[in-house]
A and B are shown apart, each in its own frame.
Chain A
């Protein structure tokens, strides 16, 4: 199965790794995203406009590929939550870091999603992806049949299955590890969001102080008044610098580590969902085995069929899952490393620039007469 996948040529006509979401347009309540994909052959790019519903359309198609063996073992790249043009408080809370900074981080998250889908050896073959990325018309609006992966529709009692004991040590370990890491990643993303939001508050407070200082400027020829006015003006500049510094620090945080932790958190969730699907299949398989064993001679043959089908499917899922987990580890490491390195580099640069600025202000004050 692996060999077949390697021999096929790429299903997409674009460079998956270089897809960009370059713009977001607001039209009333709707957000539309401009997606640019470089062509594989020749020069040029595809420019398409897509709404969030279009993303969901593609996602649904990916979820409902029943003909692909072991599809349930795939770790689906996580699509960010829906953004609205005028988001409610609830939506903003759900979006977390993606709701900050005028949709720029959100575009980056969508971009990452598309790159991940387009680079996925199984998913990129789905026609929906090609249509989504290249068709100048909006993709079809017809609803796809109910997808088998809609976790929300799973009854509460199915949640019991989450802790069902595994038959395979590798997967048991992976499930346990994933559970812990998912929780930690979510927590870290949320705590970091608090930091970024407080930084923004500080920037605003510095701005207010800077503005208020201008009101202290006193007109007149009096040298003492002029001296004090000058002090106020210069101090206002200092706080304006501080405001800009803090805004840049917050922006750096959002664009690097903020996005990185958000992606990590959502991707770990995606792995969790895959592992859960596999666990459900395991439960189904064990149930099919019991039924086959217990079956009266009349039903025996039919039950055996069911059992065999379940076994085949389960084994396919396990095979795909193992590959996916290996891939996932690589993707995730690369993403986190990039996030941390960029974060550090950007903050270092900002810190140096600010130090220079503050030093200039200090020299200016020292040089003032009086």
Chain B
């Protein structure tokens, strides 16, 4: 059996993304999750405004080939998977939106760091999206997924408006509407679902707040980076205006230290962004998908209820016809009753199946959530620690220079 792991490589330019899928031997200590090796690199853009992606898949060990994918192809994949698997209660991983709704201001097309940021954020988000899709045992079996990974040319995806800002919001709101419509008494398992939905909603609120706070932090760090650069320049000027040699030298060294710190602050801003801001954004989207699955469960329930109502009507019709003594119509009525009884049974089974799937998916989601956060935090701390140790080196180098004055 195959196990794979998603891995980054370096960014070169704005433009298209290259994926490599490699299959490896299974690592026993890992869970039943399948993971793929994906190497991402970026090349020159083919068309302006178009992200083109290359996927390299090795069907056999060490064999690779490349396919190119547009951003809209990813959205198209989501559309298909959502249509097919959503109603069954699966949490279909959502792709990054075209513009990150209500979370950050995104500047597109300008040659500045925001643009590099945007490219990197999108690249990372698409990679994580694909990772989640291939991690899901049921989704991996889907022919559309296989096609996405393997086929040379994909036909252009249409109707990806559902993933525009408005469409996404609509989907999120529907789940809450459905709950408020549910007025019948609940049995035990329903209580579990209602509580879970509440948790999901409050988690959504909290995560949005966290996201906003991280983005604020990132803004300040970038500001610090700029201010540090300005200060470095002013220190250099002071140093060159100074006629005492030792002091002049020390001030120049000060300017150099500050220049190095500018870079550290910039790195830290990136660390904040890519470890946290992006992770939390992912989870806000995922929580939306979780609510979507609850929505689908509600639909299945509704269908079952409607069938029961219909069955009841048919029985009432039968009762009336018995009184009216119309044998032909009575026969029809009996056939219809049988039909609807079958439907009720089917829909009840469907509802139970969907409920079970949603439940299993949500439990899996929660497990993964703790894991993912922990892993990202470790990455973050390692990076933070590295920065700090670098900083110590800079200070240690500067101290003798400062003491040398006088």
Among B43-51, B59-67, B78-86, B375-383, the stretch that binds chain A is: B375-383
Give the residues in chain A near B166, CB-CB below 8 Å.
none
Q: Complex: how many Å from CA A228 to CA B366? A: 8
Interface pair A184/B238, CB less than 8 Å apart: yes
- A345 and B399 contact, Cβ closer than 8 Å, known pairs A231-B373, A351-B392, A365-B374: yes
Output the least CB separation between B282 and chain A (Å).
Answer: 15
Q: Mark B210-238, 1 if CB is under 8 A from A, else 0.
A: 10011011001101100110110111011
**For chain A, what secondary structure do more than half of its interface residues adopt (helix, strand, loop), or is it mixed?**
helix
Which residue among B210, B374, B389 has the maximum number of chain A CB atoms within 10 Å of its CB? B374
Interface pair A215/B206, CB less than 8 Å apart: yes
Cβ-closest chain A residue relative to B199: A218
Question: Any chain A CB within 8 A of the CB of B241?
Answer: yes
Among B21-29, B242-250, B287-295, the stretch that binds chain A is: B242-250
- A224 and B367 contact, Cβ closer than 8 Å, known pairs A195-B227, A205-B220, A358-B385: yes
Give the residues in chain B near A235, CB-CB below 8 Å.
373, 377
Interface pair A180/B235, CB less than 8 Å apart: no
Contact of A334 among B369, B381, B406 (CB under 8 A): B406
Give the residues in chain A near B406, CB-CB below 8 Å.
333-334, 337
Contact of B241 among A180, A227, A347, A351 (CB under 8 A): A180
Question: Any chain A CB within 8 A of the CB of B182?
Answer: no
Interface pair A348/B399, CB less than 8 Å apart: yes
Cβ-closest chain A residue relative to B405: A337
Among A9-17, A65-73, A102-110, A196-204, the stretch that binds chain B is: A196-204
Cβ-closest chain A residue relative to B242: A181
Contact of A337 among B213, B214, B402 (CB under 8 A): B402
Interface pair B395/A362, CB less than 8 Å apart: no
Interface pair A348/B392, CB less than 8 Å apart: yes
Among A20-28, A125-133, A185-193, the stretch that binds chain B is: A185-193
> Total interface residues on A, using CB and 8 Å?
59
Cβ-closest chain B residue relative to A199: B224
Interface pair B223/A198, CB less than 8 Å apart: yes
Interface pair A358/B234, CB less than 8 Å apart: no
Interface pair A184/B234, CB less than 8 Å apart: yes
Question: Any chain B CB within 8 A of the CB of A122?
Answer: no
- A195 and B392 contact, Cβ closer than 8 Å, known pairs A185-B238, A224-B366, A355-B385: no
Cβ-closest chain A residue relative to B362: A224
Output the least CB separation between A176 and chain B (Å).
Answer: 11
319-370 of chain A: CB within 8 A of chain B: 329, 333-334, 336-337, 340-341, 343-345, 347-348, 351-352, 354-355, 358-359, 361-362, 365-366, 368, 370
Interface pair A361/B381, CB less than 8 Å apart: yes
Cβ-closest chain B residue relative to A179: B241
Give the residues in chain B near A362, CB-CB below 8 Å.
378, 381-382, 385
Question: Any chain B CB within 8 A of the CB of A290?
Answer: no
Q: Complex: how many Å from CA A329 to CA B238? A: 15
Interface pair A209/B220, CB less than 8 Å apart: no
Output the least CB separation between B154 and chain A (Å).
Answer: 37
A-B contact pairs, 9 of them (CB 8 A): A188-B234, A194-B230, A201-B223, A238-B377, A334-B406, A336-B247, A340-B405, A351-B395, A362-B378
A-B residue pairs, 4 tightest by C-beta:
A227-B370, A348-B395, A340-B402, A191-B231
